[in-house]
Structure 1
Amino acid sequence: MSHEPPICRRVFLMRHGHYERTGNLGDTVWGLSPLGRRQAVRVGRRLAQLVDSASGRFEGVYASPWPRATQSAEIAGREMDLDNIRIKRYLHELVPLVDPERPEFKSFPIGLEATPSEGRVFVDQQIDKIRDRFFKPPTRRSFVLLFAHGNLIRYLVARTLRLPYEAWAMMDIAHASISELRVYANGFEALISFNETGHLPPSMVTTA
């Protein structure tokens, strides 16, 4: 009897480390804080273990162009002896989608304004781009590492679970956390883990 695992693509999703919101410079400038750099080292060491134990073809490391994600990928990459970080514009952060008519926002602890319809269209288009690239049914075992942002990761999880994007509001996600989605040869998708932070001591776990 064969005990070979089924053919699948393992998509590892890492949120960037803690970052400095200095002045009004914005997302395209803000970079990691000293804490965020330490978090990135820790996530790199954990990923080195995962890569070493994973079977199949390694598809590489991809990152958002926003500095906090790119820097996280570069620091983690050094821990894995990898320096070929591929920057993809469509991995940047997305707006939080809010529909005030949906019940999950009736008791949401933080007041959020409704998202204009064009924002929802943009989110859908960007998530489709990511899925077209990384979520097609594989023909052989493989794995890929994506360094991105909290909302984007939660939207990808929601799509895999066939939930509305608004499910993001019920998923907290920490800096330098690791989540894993799998895509199988028949097109089935599964959430394997979400928001793993065991590689970080409690004092280094941050979310905002």
Structure 2
Amino acid sequence: MFSRMRKLSSLGSAAGVCGGLVVGWWLVANNTTTAKASWTTDFTPSVQWDWNWDRREPSSLLKPSKNNKRKNGLASDELKQCSLPDSNLTDSEKLEARLDAKKSTASRYIILIRHGQYNLDGETDKDRKLTELGREQSKLTGERLKALNLPITRLIHSTMTRATETANIMMQHMDKIEKVESSDLIREGAPIPPEPPIGHWQPENYQFFTDGPRIEAGFRHYFHRASQSQTQDSYEVVVCHANVIRYVVCRALQFPPEAWLRMNLHNGSLTILTIRPDGRVSMRQLGECGHMPPSKLSFT
């Protein structure tokens, strides 16, 4: 009896396998299988956008309410900014009015320029001046900004010789800029150990330790949404260095900052970041150098 049951079980299994093969063959032959495409090939959950990346989100700018200084959580000066009478406001309206008073309304367009080609053999920064090609690149970049006819009101340049020279040559071919300043924060350096590492460029750990916080401070100081007092969109130029620009791009777009060395930039190239009032950041172009003929292109 048990032998007969084993035979029947074996026959049933064989029939099941055969049936599966037949069904599979029929689906393939009739081309009725459906492949559902995934929206992504990355099964690791992505990081969500941090809206308060510059610590200027309106809700983070509100100070705690104090009964002795505020009426129902809204200060009199805030009421004046909102142009609403205190007696007509509900609690939710008061909170909304306080938030509105802290909101930015203008966009910032920041044009990052990499300096022109310079003398790599110089022993000190003062010796690392622009080459003849570097001066020509700076001239072409200044002419490009002039041709774009943007209302540029501010220019910031690194205090290093090659960046200062680049900025000065550029401004000779541009409309007058109201505010020009220099900064040590955006000098060239080693921002963060790159991933993957690169064999021919390996700074000492102490260089990352000292340069990294400085470059990060430069990012935090110059790259943020417009203040509440700014009522019109602004166009600003930052003349600095490849490492600084690449790191800033990663930080501003909330990409992994250690990926900065996966990009390369031509001398005199333009990288444009847009910072919207709500904190959204977009990149309009990276290392754009179409204003230069091929004979003027370089990476040094």
Q: TM-score scaled by structure 2?
A: 0.58
Aligned counterpart in structure 2 of residue 171 of structure 1, from 263, 269, 286:
263
Query: Partner letter of residue 177 of structure 1?
Result: S
- Match of 1:32? 130
Mapped pair 1:191 → 2:283 = yes
**Secondary structure in 2 aligned to 1:131?**
helix
How far 1:42 sits from its partner (Å)?
Answer: 0.2
Within a 5 Å distance, the mapping from 1:115-154 to structure 2 comes to: 115-116=204-205, 119-120=208-209, 122-138=211-227, 139=230, 140-154=232-246
Query: Partner letter of residue 137 of structure 1?
Result: A
Mapped pair 1:64 → 2:158 = yes
Aligned counterpart in structure 1 of residue 143 of structure 2, from 16, 21, 45:
45
Query: Partner letter of residue 133 of structure 2?
Result: L
How far 1:118 sits from its partner (Å)?
Answer: 6.3
> Alpha carbons of 1:180 and 1:120: their partners in 2 closer, same or farther (altered >3 Å)?
farther
- Match of 2:109? 10
How far 1:202 sits from its partner (Å)?
Answer: 0.8
**Secondary structure in 2 aligned to 1:179?**
strand
Aligned counterpart in structure 1 of residue 188 of structure 2, from 93, 97, 100:
93
- Which structure: larger Rg? 2
Query: Partner letter of residue 39 of structure 1?
Result: Q
Preserved CA contact (<8 Å) 1:182 1:189: yes
Q: Distance in 1 between matches of 2:297 and 2:126?
A: 24
- Match of 1:3? none
- Match of 1:201? 293
How far 1:188 sits from its partner (Å)?
Answer: 1.1
Query: Partner letter of residue 74 of structure 1?
Result: N
- 1:144-186 per-position Cα deviation (integer Å, ceiling 9, x unaligned): 0110000000010010121222212210111000000111111
**Secondary structure in 1 aligned to 2:283?**
strand
- Match of 2:78? none
> Alpha carbons of 1:115 and 1:8: their partners in 2 closer, same or farther (altered >3 Å)?
farther
Q: Distance in 2 between matches of 1:114 and 1:90?
A: 19
Quote the sequence identity (%): 27
Query: Partner letter of residue 288 of structure 2?
Result: E
Mapped pair 1:78 → 2:167 = no
Q: Distance in 1 between matches of 2:208 and 2:118?
A: 25
Q: Distance in 2 between matches of 1:168 and 1:189?
A: 17
Mapped pair 1:21 → 2:120 = yes
> Alpha carbons of 1:29 and 1:165: their partners in 2 closer, same or farther (altered >3 Å)?
farther
RMSD of the alignment, in Å?
A: 2.3
Structure 1: runs of 5+ lacking an equivalent: 1-5
Structure 2: runs of 5+ lacking an equivalent: 1-104
Query: Partner letter of residue 121 of structure 2?
Result: T
**Between 90-99 and 152-161, the greater mean CA deviation after superposition:** 90-99
How far 1:49 sits from its partner (Å)?
Answer: 1.9
Which is strand-richer, 1 or 2? 1
Q: Distance in 2 between matches of 1:19 and 1:27?
A: 10
Aligned length: 192
Q: TM-score scaled by structure 1?
A: 0.82
- 1:13-65 per-position Cα deviation (integer Å, ceiling 9, x unaligned): 000000012342x2344110000000000000001122x2x36xx43111111
How far 1:191 sits from its partner (Å)?
Answer: 1.2
| Structure 1 residue runs of 4 or more that deviate by more than 4 Å after TM superposition | none
Query: Partner letter of residue 272 of structure 2?
Result: E
Higher relative contact order (CA 8 A, sep 6+): 1
> Alpha carbons of 1:190 and 1:117: their partners in 2 closer, same or farther (altered >3 Å)?
farther
